[in-house]
Amino acid sequence: MRNLKVMTAYRGTKYHGFQRQSNAVTVQETLEKHLSKVLNEPVTVTGCSRTDTGVHANNFCFNVKTNSRISCLGFQRGVNGELPDDISILSCEEASSDFHARFDCVGKEYIYKMHCSESKNPFASDLMFHYRRKFDIDAAKRAAEYLVGEHDFASFCADCTNVSTTIRTIYSFRIENCGDSVTMLVKGSGFLYNMIRIIVGTLIDVSEKRISPDDIPSILAAKNRLRAGRTAMAHGLYLNRVFYSKAELFDDE
């Protein structure tokens, strides 16, 4: 049996996250439906991560095991011909039989996009969080510096009951702006449930001076979700890259 490593991108607006659910349409369900048709056999997709309702992905990895002899290019073309316009297969390659998209992942990078203007952007209503104030980039950058490194991120987790540890490592945290757009890029070893959205919400609170940048160490030390800021809206969040080797993870550091 072959094991295919597949990269995909999707616009999460119409989906209740990646993982299959019994009562809602998800990305996984949609992929499995169309892959099974192209491969002419029922298949199960193993994703690299779960994403929330409305969250997008620029690069999302999954693996799928199949008896089909279809070429990788044929797979890409065939599946793309079946999928709806908001999901795309970016690449397909042969993987070892034991490759696992989730467990073999050594790091991930997320992007959060904000449109900071009194006027909304009609071309990005579901792709960027509309923030109607000026965003204090300098204060947010000072706060973000405290988050880089290995920390217990329990204060930035919406539900920690299903994880063995809340310790994670953030390797880099960049905040960039161009005109009315603010983009946050966070690369780490892994992320807790809603961790990025809570971090972004906390930085919004920093921008609004509800939280001081220098409060971040005490928020981390508290290990209490109530000490951190709000949870930012899902539609500004993108899984941007997933890494399967340390060299790839640190090649731009």
Give me the active site residues, please.
Answer: 52
Q: What is the pTM of this model?
A: 0.94
pLDDT in tens, the chain (253 residues): 999 999 999 999 999 999 999 889 999 999 999 999 999 999 999 999 988 999 999 999 999 999 999 999 999 999 999 999 999 999 999 999 999 999 999 999 999 999 999 999 999 999 999 999 999 999 999 999 999 999 999 999 998 888 899 999 999 999 999 999 999 999 999 999 999 999 999 999 999 999 999 999 999 999 999 999 999 999 999 999 999 998 888 887 6
The Cα–Cα gap between 13 and 24 comes to 13
Pairing of strands 237-243, 56-66: parallel
Structural contact between residues 75 and 89, judged by C-beta atoms closer than 8 angstroms: yes
The Cα–Cα gap between 130 and 112 comes to 12
Query: Which among 146, 160, 168 is positioned nearest to 216, based on CA atoms?
Result: 146
